[in-house]
Amino acid sequence: MGKIAFVFSGQGAQYPGMGESLCQESAAARAVFEMADAIRPGTSEQCFHGTKEDLTSTQNTQPDMFAVELAAAAALEEAGVQPSCLAGFSLGEISALAFSGAVSREDGFSLVCRRGELMADAAAQVEAGMVAVVKLPPQKVEELCQGFEQVYPVNYNSPAQTVVSGRADQMEPFKAAVKAAGGRALPLAVKGGFHSPFMAPAAAGLREVLSAMEIGEPRFTLYSNVTGQPYQGEMKDLLARQVENPVRWQATVEHMIASGVDTFIEVGPGKTLCGLISKIDSGVKVLNVEDAESLAKTIEEVTATC
């Protein structure tokens, strides 16, 4: 067996009830939710019993997802499963940062709370949305975006999926252009045009927040969304730039595989990253941990192959 990577889910994978059985099953997971509730009262209640609408608001989604992701990773580590490297998709990168030990769990949670607020504020300044474009290569999506004034490729997810952010009044014409080119444009359950120039105010706010934070060396190799490569040296600038720049997910996964990773464990709600990774390289193993059942299954699979 080669190296194991933990990958942390991104916004849009949230769902009502997420994390509850993990909290019941694992003391380490429960400690994460207790930490989150101490800083932001009601976080676990929102995860376990909140409505879909509650969970879709960016200022709720990000801290709630962080708590579930960190709880899942903590439960795995409690069971003796250790990664060689980490990556997170968008907000998942902050969860990975905290799990890596480069910041404390408390500081990571406070950071993601503020990040969610800043991104929600930036999203409120312009009406925008996001769509996942499938069945077209990234180069074709870039070409289509160039035909619109404020439509941007923002998530390079796999060879056949690129997510686009755009001003609301340009999205219908853009989707028509995608259809004419032979692709499909699938709306995402997010409120804003993330990882685009629309998020410049959020990036500026994050720089201010990060300037006051202590960030140390991660205990595992940690990959950057902006570069698709491991962080080297100063991290604060890339963490701030992340919200207004594309997520280079395909490049991140390819570099992890090149480093010897052959098993990816998605920690957090859903299996979105598992699906993307399989499309990038069908030869690697993908597992996930989002609840007690998937935790037990993943521990069994990893133990059996060690």
Three-state DSSP class for residue 260:
coil
Q: Which residue has the tokens 């990040």?
A: 115
- Backbone phi, psi, residue 110, to 5°: -60, -40
Structure tokens at 97: 């940062």
Three-state DSSP class for residue 19:
coil
Q: Vertex 9, ends 8 and 10: CA angle to 5°? A: 125
Residues facing residue 266 across a β-bridge: 7, 288
DSSP state of 190: -
Please identify which of the residues 9, 26, 44, 90 carries the catalytic annotation.
90
Q: Which residue has the tokens 């077209």?
A: 136
Structure tokens at 209: 């927040």
- Is 195 considered catalytic here? yes
Please identify which of the residues 44, 158, 165, 195 carries the catalytic annotation.
195
- Is 90 considered catalytic here? yes
Outline where 79-136 has alpha helix (H): 91-100, 105-124
Query: Are the C-beta atoms of 127 and 165 separated by less than 8 Å?
Result: no
Enumerate residues 6+ apart whose C-beta is below 8 A from 305.
Answer: 1, 263
Alpha-carbon distance of 290 to 8, in angstroms, equals 11
Alpha-carbon distance of 148 to 280, in angstroms, equals 28
Give the catalytic positions in this structure. 90, 195
